Amino acid sequence: MLINRRGFLKSSLLTATTMMLPMPLLSFAKFTEEDPHFFLFVNIFGGADPSYLFDARPLSMTSAGKIQNYLGEESLPFVGSNGTATLMNPIVKNLASYKNYFSVVNGVLMANGFEGHDQNFYYLHTGSPFGGDSFIPHLSKASLTHQPGSLDAIESGPGFLGFSNGEEIVPLDAENLKVLKEKFKSDQGIGDDPELDAFLHSRMQVNAEGRGKFSEASRLLELGHKKEFELKSKIMNLSVPDGARNEDEAFIRHCAQIFRQKIARSAVVNINGLFDTHAGILAKEQPTLYQKTSIRLEHILQALIDTPYDDQRSLMDVTTFMITSEFSRTMRQPGFSMEETGTDHNPLNNSVLVGGKKIKAGQVIGASDFASTNEVLSLAHKKFDEGFLKVMGRPFDFSTMKPRKDLPQEFHAKDYLSINSIVNTIYSLFDVQNDHYRLIARNEPIAPVLTSLRT
Protein backbone atom coordinates (compact mmCIF):
# COMPACT_ATOMS: atom_id res chain seq x y z
CA MET A 1 0.00 0.00 0.00
CA LEU A 2 1.30 3.44 -0.91
CA ILE A 3 0.37 6.65 0.85
CA ASN A 4 0.95 10.25 -0.14
CA ARG A 5 2.49 13.02 1.93
CA ARG A 6 -0.91 14.11 3.27
CA GLY A 7 -1.47 10.62 4.68
CA PHE A 8 2.08 10.55 5.95
CA LEU A 9 1.50 13.81 7.81
CA LYS A 10 -1.85 12.69 9.14
CA SER A 11 -0.44 9.55 10.67
CA SER A 12 2.71 11.40 11.84
CA LEU A 13 4.53 8.18 11.06
CA LEU A 14 2.62 6.40 13.80
CA THR A 15 1.32 3.69 11.51
CA ALA A 16 4.18 3.53 9.05
CA THR A 17 5.50 0.10 8.08
CA THR A 18 8.12 -0.84 5.55
CA MET A 19 5.57 -1.16 2.76
CA MET A 20 3.85 2.10 3.71
CA LEU A 21 6.87 4.29 2.98
CA PRO A 22 5.64 6.16 -0.09
CA MET A 23 7.53 5.26 -3.21
CA PRO A 24 7.84 8.92 -4.35
CA LEU A 25 9.82 9.58 -1.17
CA LEU A 26 12.72 7.55 -2.54
CA SER A 27 14.66 10.20 -4.41
CA PHE A 28 18.30 9.77 -5.24
CA ALA A 29 20.48 12.74 -4.43
CA LYS A 30 24.19 13.15 -5.00
CA PHE A 31 26.32 13.01 -1.88
CA THR A 32 30.10 13.14 -1.96
CA GLU A 33 32.39 12.53 0.97
CA GLU A 34 34.92 15.00 -0.44
CA ASP A 35 32.61 18.00 -0.47
CA PRO A 36 29.42 17.37 1.52
CA HIS A 37 26.86 20.14 1.13
CA PHE A 38 23.45 20.38 2.80
CA PHE A 39 20.65 22.91 3.11
CA LEU A 40 18.61 24.15 6.06
CA PHE A 41 15.50 26.26 5.50
CA VAL A 42 14.02 28.08 8.50
CA ASN A 43 10.45 29.03 7.65
CA ILE A 44 8.85 31.74 9.81
CA PHE A 45 5.25 31.31 8.71
CA GLY A 46 2.69 34.06 9.15
CA GLY A 47 4.37 37.12 7.71
CA ALA A 48 7.17 38.27 10.01
CA ASP A 49 7.77 41.99 10.52
CA PRO A 50 11.36 42.98 9.51
CA SER A 51 11.09 46.15 11.63
CA TYR A 52 11.47 43.84 14.65
CA LEU A 53 14.46 42.16 13.00
CA PHE A 54 17.14 43.56 10.65
CA ASP A 55 15.13 46.17 8.73
CA ALA A 56 14.02 48.43 11.58
CA ARG A 57 12.89 52.07 11.58
CA PRO A 58 13.88 54.99 13.87
CA LEU A 59 11.57 55.94 16.74
CA SER A 60 11.08 59.33 15.08
CA MET A 61 8.86 57.58 12.52
CA THR A 62 6.67 56.25 15.32
CA SER A 63 6.42 59.71 16.86
CA ALA A 64 5.38 61.02 13.44
CA GLY A 65 2.60 58.41 13.20
CA LYS A 66 4.21 56.41 10.37
CA ILE A 67 5.02 53.02 11.92
CA GLN A 68 3.98 51.21 15.07
CA ASN A 69 6.74 50.20 17.48
CA TYR A 70 5.45 48.47 20.58
CA LEU A 71 8.95 47.88 21.91
CA GLY A 72 9.50 51.61 22.28
CA GLU A 73 13.30 51.45 21.99
CA GLU A 74 15.55 53.12 19.45
CA SER A 75 16.85 50.97 16.62
CA LEU A 76 20.57 50.22 16.38
CA PRO A 77 22.93 50.62 13.40
CA PHE A 78 23.99 47.43 11.64
CA VAL A 79 26.64 47.97 8.96
CA GLY A 80 27.65 45.23 6.57
CA SER A 81 31.24 44.48 5.60
CA ASN A 82 30.27 45.60 2.07
CA GLY A 83 29.41 49.10 3.32
CA THR A 84 25.63 48.84 3.08
CA ALA A 85 23.89 49.70 6.35
CA THR A 86 20.54 48.93 7.92
CA LEU A 87 18.91 49.37 11.31
CA MET A 88 18.63 46.47 13.71
CA ASN A 89 15.87 46.15 16.27
CA PRO A 90 17.33 45.82 19.81
CA ILE A 91 15.44 42.54 20.13
CA VAL A 92 17.91 40.80 17.78
CA LYS A 93 21.11 42.09 19.42
CA ASN A 94 21.80 38.48 20.42
CA LEU A 95 22.05 37.57 16.72
CA ALA A 96 24.54 40.34 15.94
CA SER A 97 27.32 38.24 17.48
CA TYR A 98 26.70 35.67 14.70
CA LYS A 99 27.26 38.27 12.00
CA ASN A 100 30.25 36.34 10.64
CA TYR A 101 27.97 33.42 9.81
CA PHE A 102 25.22 35.12 7.78
CA SER A 103 24.39 38.04 5.53
CA VAL A 104 21.20 40.11 5.63
CA VAL A 105 19.30 40.61 2.37
CA ASN A 106 16.74 43.43 2.65
CA GLY A 107 14.28 44.99 0.24
CA VAL A 108 13.27 41.62 -1.21
CA LEU A 109 10.10 41.70 -3.31
CA MET A 110 7.70 38.79 -3.08
CA ALA A 111 4.52 38.23 -5.15
CA ASN A 112 3.78 41.94 -5.29
CA GLY A 113 0.40 41.55 -6.98
CA PHE A 114 -0.90 39.10 -4.38
CA GLU A 115 -1.62 39.66 -0.69
CA GLY A 116 -2.45 36.16 0.61
CA HIS A 117 -0.30 33.97 2.87
CA ASP A 118 -0.68 30.91 0.64
CA GLN A 119 0.06 32.83 -2.56
CA ASN A 120 3.25 34.34 -1.21
CA PHE A 121 4.34 31.12 0.48
CA TYR A 122 3.93 29.37 -2.87
CA TYR A 123 5.85 32.20 -4.53
CA LEU A 124 8.66 31.86 -2.02
CA HIS A 125 8.95 28.14 -2.69
CA THR A 126 7.98 27.81 -6.35
CA GLY A 127 8.20 31.21 -8.04
CA SER A 128 4.46 31.14 -8.71
CA PRO A 129 1.63 32.36 -6.42
CA PHE A 130 -0.40 29.36 -7.57
CA GLY A 131 2.06 26.64 -6.57
CA GLY A 132 4.29 24.22 -8.45
CA ASP A 133 7.69 22.75 -7.69
CA SER A 134 9.41 23.82 -4.47
CA PHE A 135 13.07 24.76 -4.86
CA ILE A 136 14.17 22.49 -2.00
CA PRO A 137 13.82 19.12 -3.81
CA HIS A 138 15.74 20.59 -6.74
CA LEU A 139 18.76 20.91 -4.45
CA SER A 140 18.65 17.19 -3.72
CA LYS A 141 18.23 16.18 -7.34
CA ALA A 142 20.83 18.49 -8.82
CA SER A 143 22.99 15.49 -9.76
CA LEU A 144 21.33 12.09 -9.66
CA THR A 145 23.48 9.14 -8.73
CA HIS A 146 20.71 6.81 -7.59
CA GLN A 147 21.71 7.04 -3.97
CA PRO A 148 19.59 4.36 -2.32
CA GLY A 149 17.07 5.17 0.35
CA SER A 150 17.19 8.96 0.41
CA LEU A 151 14.57 11.67 0.87
CA ASP A 152 14.56 15.22 -0.44
CA ALA A 153 14.20 16.78 3.00
CA ILE A 154 12.99 16.24 6.54
CA GLU A 155 11.08 18.84 8.51
CA SER A 156 10.31 19.73 12.10
CA GLY A 157 7.10 21.35 13.25
CA PRO A 158 3.77 21.61 11.42
CA GLY A 159 4.47 21.67 7.68
CA PHE A 160 2.66 23.10 4.68
CA LEU A 161 1.12 21.11 1.82
CA GLY A 162 0.62 22.18 -1.77
CA PHE A 163 3.85 21.67 -3.71
CA SER A 164 3.69 19.37 -6.70
CA ASN A 165 7.02 17.86 -5.66
CA GLY A 166 6.51 18.04 -1.90
CA GLU A 167 5.90 14.32 -1.41
CA GLU A 168 9.56 13.82 -0.56
CA ILE A 169 9.71 16.35 2.30
CA VAL A 170 8.84 14.24 5.34
CA PRO A 171 8.10 15.20 8.98
CA LEU A 172 10.84 13.08 10.47
CA ASP A 173 11.88 14.77 13.69
CA ALA A 174 13.38 12.99 16.69
CA GLU A 175 10.00 12.14 18.23
CA ASN A 176 8.68 10.65 15.00
CA LEU A 177 11.95 8.75 14.63
CA LYS A 178 11.42 7.10 18.01
CA VAL A 179 7.91 5.96 17.10
CA LEU A 180 8.90 4.86 13.60
CA LYS A 181 11.75 2.68 14.85
CA GLU A 182 9.40 0.93 17.24
CA LYS A 183 6.98 0.26 14.39
CA PHE A 184 9.78 -1.14 12.26
CA LYS A 185 10.73 -3.50 15.09
CA SER A 186 7.19 -4.78 15.63
CA ASP A 187 5.80 -4.89 12.07
CA GLN A 188 6.84 -7.54 9.59
CA GLY A 189 7.36 -6.21 6.09
CA ILE A 190 7.32 -8.08 2.81
CA GLY A 191 11.10 -7.88 2.69
CA ASP A 192 11.18 -10.23 5.69
CA ASP A 193 9.75 -13.04 3.50
CA PRO A 194 12.34 -13.78 0.76
CA GLU A 195 10.05 -16.11 -1.19
CA LEU A 196 7.20 -13.60 -1.33
CA ASP A 197 9.63 -10.80 -2.04
CA ALA A 198 11.10 -12.67 -5.04
CA PHE A 199 7.61 -13.41 -6.37
CA LEU A 200 6.56 -9.77 -6.17
CA HIS A 201 9.71 -8.60 -7.92
CA SER A 202 9.19 -11.11 -10.72
CA ARG A 203 5.64 -9.90 -11.29
CA MET A 204 6.73 -6.25 -11.24
CA GLN A 205 9.47 -6.98 -13.77
CA VAL A 206 7.06 -8.70 -16.14
CA ASN A 207 4.53 -5.88 -15.85
CA ALA A 208 7.26 -3.32 -16.49
CA GLU A 209 8.18 -4.69 -19.93
CA GLY A 210 5.53 -2.73 -21.84
CA ARG A 211 5.44 0.89 -23.00
CA GLY A 212 2.21 2.16 -21.45
CA LYS A 213 1.49 3.94 -18.20
CA PHE A 214 0.84 0.65 -16.37
CA SER A 215 4.31 -0.58 -17.30
CA GLU A 216 5.86 2.71 -16.29
CA ALA A 217 4.09 2.53 -12.93
CA SER A 218 5.32 -1.04 -12.48
CA ARG A 219 8.91 0.06 -13.08
CA LEU A 220 8.55 2.82 -10.52
CA LEU A 221 6.92 0.44 -8.07
CA GLU A 222 9.76 -2.04 -8.37
CA LEU A 223 12.33 0.71 -7.93
CA GLY A 224 10.56 2.00 -4.84
CA HIS A 225 10.18 -1.52 -3.49
CA LYS A 226 13.93 -2.13 -3.80
CA LYS A 227 14.93 1.18 -2.27
CA GLU A 228 12.55 1.22 0.67
CA PHE A 229 14.58 -1.42 2.46
CA GLU A 230 17.69 0.73 2.16
CA LEU A 231 15.78 3.59 3.75
CA LYS A 232 14.49 1.38 6.52
CA SER A 233 18.01 0.17 7.26
CA LYS A 234 19.34 3.72 7.46
CA ILE A 235 16.52 4.83 9.75
CA MET A 236 17.14 1.91 12.08
CA ASN A 237 20.77 3.05 12.39
CA LEU A 238 19.69 6.45 13.71
CA SER A 239 19.58 7.23 17.41
CA VAL A 240 17.29 9.67 19.19
CA PRO A 241 19.43 12.65 20.26
CA ASP A 242 19.67 13.20 24.01
CA GLY A 243 21.19 15.88 26.19
CA ALA A 244 20.14 18.78 23.95
CA ARG A 245 19.62 22.13 25.67
CA ASN A 246 16.52 22.99 23.63
CA GLU A 247 14.22 21.64 20.90
CA ASP A 248 16.10 23.33 18.06
CA GLU A 249 19.46 21.95 19.14
CA ALA A 250 17.85 18.50 19.32
CA PHE A 251 16.59 18.82 15.75
CA ILE A 252 19.94 20.11 14.44
CA ARG A 253 21.70 17.13 16.05
CA HIS A 254 19.09 14.92 14.45
CA CYS A 255 19.79 16.60 11.08
CA ALA A 256 23.49 15.80 11.44
CA GLN A 257 22.64 12.11 11.63
CA ILE A 258 20.25 12.37 8.70
CA PHE A 259 22.92 14.08 6.60
CA ARG A 260 25.69 11.66 7.59
CA GLN A 261 23.51 8.65 6.81
CA LYS A 262 22.62 10.24 3.45
CA ILE A 263 18.93 9.96 4.22
CA ALA A 264 18.31 13.56 3.10
CA ARG A 265 20.26 16.53 1.83
CA SER A 266 17.94 19.23 3.21
CA ALA A 267 15.99 19.99 6.37
CA VAL A 268 13.20 22.44 7.22
CA VAL A 269 12.49 24.08 10.58
CA ASN A 270 8.95 25.49 10.72
CA ILE A 271 8.46 28.32 13.21
CA ASN A 272 4.76 28.96 13.57
CA GLY A 273 3.49 31.75 15.82
CA LEU A 274 1.18 34.73 15.98
CA PHE A 275 3.14 36.70 13.37
CA ASP A 276 -0.06 37.65 11.52
CA THR A 277 -0.79 40.65 13.73
CA HIS A 278 -3.86 42.24 12.15
CA ALA A 279 -5.45 42.88 15.54
CA GLY A 280 -3.86 45.58 17.67
CA ILE A 281 -3.98 43.33 20.72
CA LEU A 282 -1.76 40.83 18.88
CA ALA A 283 0.57 43.53 17.56
CA LYS A 284 1.21 44.67 21.12
CA GLU A 285 2.66 41.22 21.84
CA GLN A 286 5.27 41.58 19.11
CA PRO A 287 8.17 42.40 21.47
CA THR A 288 7.59 39.15 23.36
CA LEU A 289 6.99 37.20 20.14
CA TYR A 290 10.17 38.37 18.45
CA GLN A 291 12.27 37.94 21.57
CA LYS A 292 11.24 34.27 21.58
CA THR A 293 11.89 34.02 17.85
CA SER A 294 15.30 35.64 18.16
CA ILE A 295 16.25 33.17 20.89
CA ARG A 296 15.14 30.27 18.70
CA LEU A 297 17.22 31.55 15.79
CA GLU A 298 20.21 31.85 18.11
CA HIS A 299 19.68 28.26 19.24
CA ILE A 300 19.67 27.11 15.61
CA LEU A 301 22.83 29.03 14.69
CA GLN A 302 24.69 27.90 17.80
CA ALA A 303 23.64 24.30 17.24
CA LEU A 304 24.99 24.41 13.68
CA ILE A 305 28.30 25.66 15.08
CA ASP A 306 28.45 23.17 17.96
CA THR A 307 27.25 20.03 16.18
CA PRO A 308 30.06 18.10 14.48
CA TYR A 309 29.54 16.68 11.00
CA ASP A 310 32.78 14.71 11.17
CA ASP A 311 36.06 14.96 13.05
CA GLN A 312 37.11 18.03 11.05
CA ARG A 313 33.96 20.00 10.28
CA SER A 314 30.92 21.32 12.10
CA LEU A 315 27.45 21.21 10.60
CA MET A 316 27.81 24.94 9.92
CA ASP A 317 30.83 24.16 7.72
CA VAL A 318 28.82 21.90 5.41
CA THR A 319 25.36 23.52 5.48
CA THR A 320 23.91 26.53 3.68
CA PHE A 321 20.95 28.01 5.55
CA MET A 322 18.17 30.45 4.71
CA ILE A 323 15.82 32.14 7.20
CA THR A 324 12.78 34.06 6.03
CA SER A 325 9.00 34.51 6.00
CA GLU A 326 6.51 34.64 3.13
CA PHE A 327 6.24 38.45 3.27
CA SER A 328 6.56 41.38 5.68
CA ARG A 329 4.00 43.69 7.32
CA THR A 330 2.55 47.12 6.72
CA MET A 331 3.86 49.85 9.02
CA ARG A 332 0.41 50.44 10.50
CA GLN A 333 -3.31 50.26 9.67
CA PRO A 334 -5.49 53.17 8.52
CA GLY A 335 -8.10 54.44 10.95
CA PHE A 336 -6.30 53.33 14.12
CA SER A 337 -4.18 55.29 16.54
CA MET A 338 -0.51 54.37 16.95
CA GLU A 339 -1.41 52.94 20.37
CA GLU A 340 -4.02 50.54 18.96
CA THR A 341 -2.96 49.71 15.40
CA GLY A 342 -2.14 46.27 14.07
CA THR A 343 -0.34 45.45 10.81
CA ASP A 344 -1.40 43.89 7.52
CA HIS A 345 0.30 41.93 4.73
CA ASN A 346 3.10 43.50 2.69
CA PRO A 347 4.60 41.54 -0.23
CA LEU A 348 6.52 44.62 -1.47
CA ASN A 349 9.36 43.99 0.97
CA ASN A 350 10.97 41.14 2.84
CA SER A 351 14.13 40.38 4.79
CA VAL A 352 16.14 37.17 4.34
CA LEU A 353 19.11 35.82 6.29
CA VAL A 354 21.43 33.60 4.25
CA GLY A 355 24.57 31.98 5.61
CA GLY A 356 26.72 28.93 6.08
CA LYS A 357 28.68 27.06 3.46
CA LYS A 358 29.66 28.99 0.30
CA ILE A 359 28.00 32.19 1.57
CA LYS A 360 30.01 35.38 2.10
CA ALA A 361 28.80 36.41 5.53
CA GLY A 362 28.73 39.75 7.31
CA GLN A 363 27.13 41.71 4.49
CA VAL A 364 23.95 43.74 4.14
CA ILE A 365 22.65 43.38 0.60
CA GLY A 366 19.74 45.47 -0.66
CA ALA A 367 17.62 48.01 1.18
CA SER A 368 14.04 49.16 1.59
CA ASP A 369 12.56 52.62 1.21
CA PHE A 370 10.43 54.72 3.58
CA ALA A 371 13.35 54.90 6.01
CA SER A 372 12.48 58.38 7.30
CA THR A 373 9.41 60.52 7.84
CA ASN A 374 10.23 62.95 5.04
CA GLU A 375 11.43 60.49 2.39
CA VAL A 376 10.09 61.06 -1.13
CA LEU A 377 8.71 57.81 -2.53
CA SER A 378 8.91 56.81 -6.16
CA LEU A 379 5.89 56.75 -8.44
CA ALA A 380 6.61 53.03 -8.85
CA HIS A 381 6.05 52.62 -5.11
CA LYS A 382 2.90 54.71 -5.12
CA LYS A 383 1.41 52.46 -7.81
CA PHE A 384 1.23 49.62 -5.28
CA ASP A 385 0.76 51.63 -2.08
CA GLU A 386 -1.52 54.62 -2.46
CA GLY A 387 -2.07 54.85 1.30
CA PHE A 388 1.67 55.00 2.08
CA LEU A 389 1.36 52.17 4.59
CA LYS A 390 4.02 49.86 3.18
CA VAL A 391 7.77 49.69 2.95
CA MET A 392 9.03 48.62 -0.49
CA GLY A 393 12.37 47.35 -1.69
CA ARG A 394 14.58 50.00 -3.25
CA PRO A 395 15.72 49.63 -6.88
CA PHE A 396 18.84 47.46 -7.01
CA ASP A 397 21.95 47.56 -9.20
CA PHE A 398 22.93 43.96 -9.91
CA SER A 399 26.25 45.01 -11.44
CA THR A 400 27.50 46.73 -8.28
CA MET A 401 25.29 44.72 -5.88
CA LYS A 402 24.19 47.99 -4.25
CA PRO A 403 20.81 49.66 -3.72
CA ARG A 404 20.07 52.44 -6.21
CA LYS A 405 19.13 55.99 -5.16
CA ASP A 406 16.93 56.89 -8.12
CA LEU A 407 13.12 57.10 -7.99
CA PRO A 408 11.65 55.07 -10.87
CA GLN A 409 8.54 56.48 -12.49
CA GLU A 410 7.31 53.05 -13.56
CA PHE A 411 7.68 49.63 -11.97
CA HIS A 412 9.85 47.16 -13.86
CA ALA A 413 10.64 43.89 -12.08
CA LYS A 414 14.19 43.85 -13.46
CA ASP A 415 14.97 46.95 -11.36
CA TYR A 416 14.32 45.20 -8.05
CA LEU A 417 15.81 42.46 -5.93
CA SER A 418 13.30 39.63 -5.57
CA ILE A 419 13.14 36.27 -3.85
CA ASN A 420 13.77 34.73 -7.29
CA SER A 421 17.35 36.04 -7.28
CA ILE A 422 17.95 34.58 -3.82
CA VAL A 423 16.64 31.17 -4.87
CA ASN A 424 18.75 31.29 -8.04
CA THR A 425 21.77 32.10 -5.88
CA ILE A 426 21.06 29.01 -3.77
CA TYR A 427 20.66 27.02 -7.00
CA SER A 428 24.08 28.19 -8.17
CA LEU A 429 25.68 26.87 -4.98
CA PHE A 430 24.18 23.41 -5.49
CA ASP A 431 24.78 23.18 -9.25
CA VAL A 432 21.07 22.96 -10.05
CA GLN A 433 20.26 22.67 -13.74
CA ASN A 434 19.53 25.95 -15.53
CA ASP A 435 16.00 24.94 -16.53
CA HIS A 436 14.95 25.25 -12.88
CA TYR A 437 16.23 28.82 -12.51
CA ARG A 438 13.52 31.40 -11.92
CA LEU A 439 12.70 34.30 -14.21
CA ILE A 440 12.68 37.96 -13.17
CA ALA A 441 9.01 37.92 -14.11
CA ARG A 442 6.84 36.30 -16.75
CA ASN A 443 8.41 36.65 -20.22
CA GLU A 444 11.54 38.12 -18.63
CA PRO A 445 15.12 36.73 -18.48
CA ILE A 446 16.42 34.63 -15.59
CA ALA A 447 16.63 36.53 -12.30
CA PRO A 448 20.27 37.53 -11.64
CA VAL A 449 22.32 35.58 -9.14
CA LEU A 450 23.61 37.65 -6.20
CA THR A 451 27.29 37.14 -6.99
CA SER A 452 28.48 39.11 -3.96
CA LEU A 453 26.64 36.67 -1.69
CA ARG A 454 28.77 33.74 -2.85
CA THR A 455 32.27 33.04 -1.57
- Which are the contacts of 132, defined by CB distance < 8 A and separation ≥ 6? 122, 126, 163, 164
Residues 173-201: tens digit of each pLDDT: 888 888 888 888 876 554 567 787 778 77
Residues 286-306: tens digit of each pLDDT: 999 999 999 999 999 999 999
Mean pLDDT score of the chain, rounded to an integer? 88
The domain ranges of the chain are 5-173+242-453
pLDDT band at 14 (very low <50, low <70, confident <90, very high): very low
Q: Quick check: 20 pLDDT over 80? A: no
What's the whole-number mean pLDDT along residues 225-240? 82
**33 three-class SS:** coil
The answer to whether 50 and 68 have CB atoms below 8 angstroms apart is no
pLDDT band at 220 (very low <50, low <70, confident <90, very high): confident
Q: What's the pLDDT at 150?
A: 82
For domain 5-173+242-453, the CATH architecture is 3-Layer(aba) Sandwich (3.40)
C-alpha distances (whole Å) from 341 to each of 64, 68, 284, 324 are: 14, 7, 9, 24
The answer to whether 383 and 69 have CB atoms below 8 angstroms apart is no
Q: What's the pLDDT at 140?
A: 87
Q: Quick check: 228 pLDDT over 90? A: no
Q: What's the pLDDT at 147?
A: 58
* Cα–Cα distance, 34 to 197 (Å, whole number): 36
Q: What's the pLDDT at 23?
A: 33
Q: Quick check: 158 pLDDT over 90? A: no
Q: What's the pLDDT at 33?
A: 57
Buried residues in 382-419 as b, exposed as e (16+ CB within 10 A): eeebeeebbbbbbbbebeebbbeeeebeebeeebbbbb
Give percent of the chain with pLDDT exceeding 70: 88
Query: Between 311 and 229, whose confidence is greater?
Result: 311
The answer to whether 218 and 208 have CB atoms below 8 angstroms apart is yes
Least confident of 90-94, 158-162, 319-323: 158-162
C-alpha distances (whole Å) from 21 to each of 230, 231, 374 are: 11, 9, 59
pLDDT band at 79 (very low <50, low <70, confident <90, very high): very high
